[in-house]
Structure 1
C-alpha cells in the first residue's frame, strides 16, 4: 500500500500499531473518543481505509485467492448484521453509543488483519512483523516484571500530550495473601496481560528455535524467557490454561527428542522460578485446587441462570452487537456468554467458526508447507486460535484491545503465509519430515497417505544420493 509518492508500507504502519498497543498503557486514550480512543485503533482505521482504497482501485493488493479476506469479510458482515439487529430493537442511548464504538473498533481490527494478509509482500517482511510482535510482548513482560519485583511501575509515569486516562490505571494488586503482587503491565487487566503473553509465546519459541547465528539465539531465547516468566506474574487461571494448551499444541509437532528436551528445560525452569519467586506457583496452584471456595469462580457460576434468562428473550439473533454493557447488566467475564447474548445462537456459532477457519488454514500450511521452518511457523500461528478460544471462555476477551489486536495480527499473518508459501488449499501433497529436519515431525496423517509415502520415498532416495542414507 502506498500513500502519495512515498512508500508507506503496511509493515511500517503495523509495527507502529503494535508499538502503540504494547508500549502505551491501555487506559490512555485520545481525548473525547472514549474507550475506543486508543491511538492503535486510529492506526487500525487508517489501515482499513488504505486497504479499501487499494481494493477499489485494484492497486497495491496481491492477485489470487486469499482466504483471510473471506474470513474477515464474514466477520465484519456479521457484526454489521448484529448492529442492525440492535438498532431494530430500539436501543437506549447508552447502548446505541456502545454499539457505535464496537463497529468502529471492528473496522479498525479488520484493517489490521487485512493489511497483514495482503500487505506483507515477502516472507522477510512477515518475519519482521512477527518478530516485532515478539519483541514488544517481551517489553511488556519486562514492564510487568519490574512491577512484580516492585522496582518501578513505569506505567504510572507515562504521560503523552493529547492522551488522557479513560479510567484509573489498574496498578499492582494483591492475590494469594497480603503483599503478594499481581501485575498487568501495560494491559487493561491482569488476565489480559497473562493471556496475551501466552498467545505470543509459541511465536517466540519459533523464532528462537530457528535462529541462525549466536547473537540471534541469545536475544531470541531471552525474549522467550521474559515472556514465559511474565505469564505467572498475572496470577491468572486463564493465563495458566492458555499457556498450558499452547505448549501442548507446540509439543505435538516436535520430534520425540525435541519434546524430551523441552520437558527437561521446562522442569528446570519451573524449579528455578519456584526458588527465586517462592509462593507464586503455589498461589496459582491454589486457584485450581480451591475452586469451590473461590468467590470469583462461584460468582461466575451463579451468573449462568441470569445469562440464560436473558438469552431466552432473543435466542437466535440476540440483542445486537456491542450492546451488552456490564455496567448496565452484569459483569460476565466470559466472551462466549457475551456473544450468546449479543448475537444469539447464530452469533455464537459464527464466533466459533471465526476462530476455527483461520486455524484450519494454518494447519493446511503445517501439513503442506514448503520447508520445516514454514511448517513450524504455521503451527505456531495456528496454536494462537484454540488458545484464544479457550481464553474467551474464561474472560470477556473481545473487550480488551491488546488481546484482539494480537489475534487479528495473527489471523492476517496466517493469510500472508498462505499466499507467500503458495502451498495452501491442498495445492501441495502432505509433507513428511526431510532427513535434515530436526524441529518438525512428520504429520501423523502423512503416514496414511499415498502422497505422503511417495514423498517419504523421494526424500530417502535423495538422501542416499547425497550420502545420507
Structure 2
C-alpha cells in the first residue's frame, strides 16, 4: 500500500508548477514568429531612400513601396488559396484602411471618367501612384494586424522597426553635426535604381540647420520620430533582450531627432505623444518621465546651441511669418476649388502648387481639394479611427504590458492625426507607409486585448482567433 501511494503521488503533476499563472515576462520572452518580409519592410521604411526608384515604375518604384505591395499580394493570395481566413478576424484598422482605399478609388474613377475635368498625362500618373500607395498601405495594415499573434511577435516586429528608426536617427545626427549626408552613400550602393529627387536633407531655420535623416524632409523626420517615440519607450521598459541602456539610447536619439528638425510640427508631435502615453505608463515609469522632462530640455539647450531661441521664435510666430501666412492665405483659394469640384476633387495626387505660396501644408485641406468631400471623409476616418480604437484597447487591456503597448500605439496614431493639420502628411513617403504599419500594429493589439476576454491557457501567449491549432 505504501508503494502504491508513493507511485500515485509521484504521478501527480505539481500544482504550482503546472498551473503557474502566465506573466507578461513569459509572453515577451517567447520566440517571435512574424513573417521575415514584414520585418524587412518595416526596417526598409527608414533604410532605403524614397528618392531612389526603379525608373520604369516611376515614383512608386521605391523599395518600401514595392515590398508593401508584395505584402498585399501575399495576403490576397493566402486568402484565395484558403491558407488564411481573414473573415473571422475583425478590427477597426482594417475598416479604416478599406475606407481610405475606397475614397481614393472613387476619386480615381472620377478622374479617369472625365467627371472632374480633363486630366493631363502627369495628373493620371499621379493618380496611379496614389492608387498604388492605397493598396500598399492596406497591405501593411492587413499583414501586420493578422500575422502579429502574440506579444512576442509584436516585440520582434518593433525591434526591426525601431532599428530602422535608429539608423534614420544616426543619419540625422551626422547631418546635424558634420553637415554631410550619409544617404548619398546608400544611393550609390543601389544599382538599378535612379535618383528621382524631391528630398530635402538640409534646410536653414534661424541660426540652425534643420536635417531630415533618411526621410524626405525635416518636418517628416520630426513627426515620424515622435510617432515612434512612445513605442520606443515601451520597448525600453519591457524588452527582455539586449542592453537596457542601449534601448534608452535609441529612445534618446528619437528625442534628438525631434529637436534637430527645429519644427513646430515636431514639437507639437512630441507633446501629443507624451500626453497620450503618460496615463498608460506604469506608475514608477510615469513619475520618472515627468521628473526627467526638465533635464531633457536642459540637455537639448546645452547640446544644441541656439535651439531654444530658434524654436521659441518659431512657436511664437504670427501671420507675419511666411509659413503661417501661406497657410492662412490659402483658405479662400481652397474654398473656391471645393466649390468647383465638391464631390471627388481634382483627382488623387492631382493638386499642384504653382509656387511655394500655394503649397497646402495641411493633409485635410489637400484631401478635400484633391479627392473632394467623399475623399476628406475617408481620409479623416483613416487618420482618426485607428487612434480612437487603440485608445479603447488601452482602456480595456488587462495585462499591464499590453495596456502600456496599446497606449503607446494610440499616442503614435494621434500624433499622425493631429500633425496632419500642420503638413500634408500623406505626400511624404516615409510617413505615408509608417502610419499604416502603426495602424496594423494597433489592429494586432485590438485582437490581443479581445483575446484576454477568454481564459488564458498555460501557453506563453493568449489564443489568437486565427491561429490553427
Q: TM-score range by the shorter chain?
A: 0.7 to 0.9
> Mind listing any 5+ residue stretches in structure 2 that lack a counterpart?
1-32, 456-469
Match of 1:108 in 2: 136
Q: Does 1:219 align with 2:246?
A: yes
Q: 1:121 to 1:80 in 2, by over 3 A?
A: same
Tell me how many residue pairs correspond in the alignment. Answer: 416
Match of 1:74 in 2: 99
Query: 1:411-463 deviations in whole A, cap 9, x for unaligned?
Result: 11111222234348xx589xxxxxxxxxxxxxxxxxxxxxxxxxxxxxxxxxx
- What does 1:38-437 align with in structure 2 at a 5 Å threshold? 38-61=62-85, 64-67=88-91, 68-88=93-113, 89=115, 90-150=118-178, 152-158=180-186, 159=188, 160-167=190-197, 169-177=199-207, 180-212=208-240, 215-254=242-281, 258-326=285-353, 330-423=358-451
Superposition deviation, residue 114 in structure 1: 0.8
Contact residue 40 and residue 160 of structure 2 kept, 8 A: no
Aligned to 1:182, the other structure's residue is in SS state: strand
Superposition deviation, residue 327 in structure 1: 5.0
Contact residue 311 and residue 340 of structure 1 kept, 8 A: yes
Q: Does 1:34 align with 2:64?
A: no
Return the alpha-carbon distance in structure 2 between the equivalents of residues 173 and 230 of structure 1: 14
Match of 2:40 in 1: 16
Contact residue 61 and residue 119 of structure 1 kept, 8 A: no
Return the alpha-carbon distance in structure 1 between the equivalents of residues 130 and 274 of structure 2: 32
Superposition deviation, residue 131 in structure 1: 2.2
Return the alpha-carbon distance in structure 2 between the equivalents of residues 151 and 327 of structure 1: 31
Aligned to 1:174, the other structure's residue is in SS state: strand
> Mind listing any 5+ residue stretches in structure 1 that lack a counterpart?
1-8, 430-469
Contact residue 48 and residue 64 of structure 2 kept, 8 A: no
Return the alpha-carbon distance in structure 1 between the equivalents of residues 292 and 358 of structure 2: 43
Contact residue 368 and residue 423 of structure 1 kept, 8 A: no
Query: 1:75-124 deviations in whole A, cap 9, x for unaligned?
Result: 22222112112223242222111111110121111111111111223331
Superposition deviation, residue 65 in structure 1: 2.5
Superposition deviation, residue 19 in structure 1: 2.6
Return the alpha-carbon distance in structure 1 between the equivalents of residues 297 and 325 of structure 2: 29
Give the TM-score normalised by structure 1. Answer: 0.83
Superposition deviation, residue 234 in structure 1: 1.0
- When Rg is computed on C-alpha atoms for both structures, the one with the higher figure is 2
Superposition deviation, residue 70 in structure 1: 2.7
Contact residue 365 and residue 423 of structure 1 kept, 8 A: no
Return the alpha-carbon distance in structure 2 between the equivalents of residues 269 and 70 of structure 1: 39
Superposition deviation, residue 366 in structure 1: 0.8
Return the alpha-carbon distance in structure 1 between the equivalents of residues 159 and 287 of structure 2: 26
Aligned to 1:127, the other structure's residue is in SS state: helix
Aligned to 1:35, the other structure's residue is in SS state: coil
Q: 1:211 to 1:21 in 2, by over 3 A?
A: closer
Give the TM-score normalised by structure 2. Answer: 0.83
Return the alpha-carbon distance in structure 2 between the equivalents of residues 147 and 121 of structure 1: 38
Higher relative contact order (CA 8 A, sep 6+): 2
Query: 1:125-174 deviations in whole A, cap 9, x for unaligned?
Result: 22111222122112211110111001642112221101111016523222
Superposition deviation, residue 323 in structure 1: 2.2
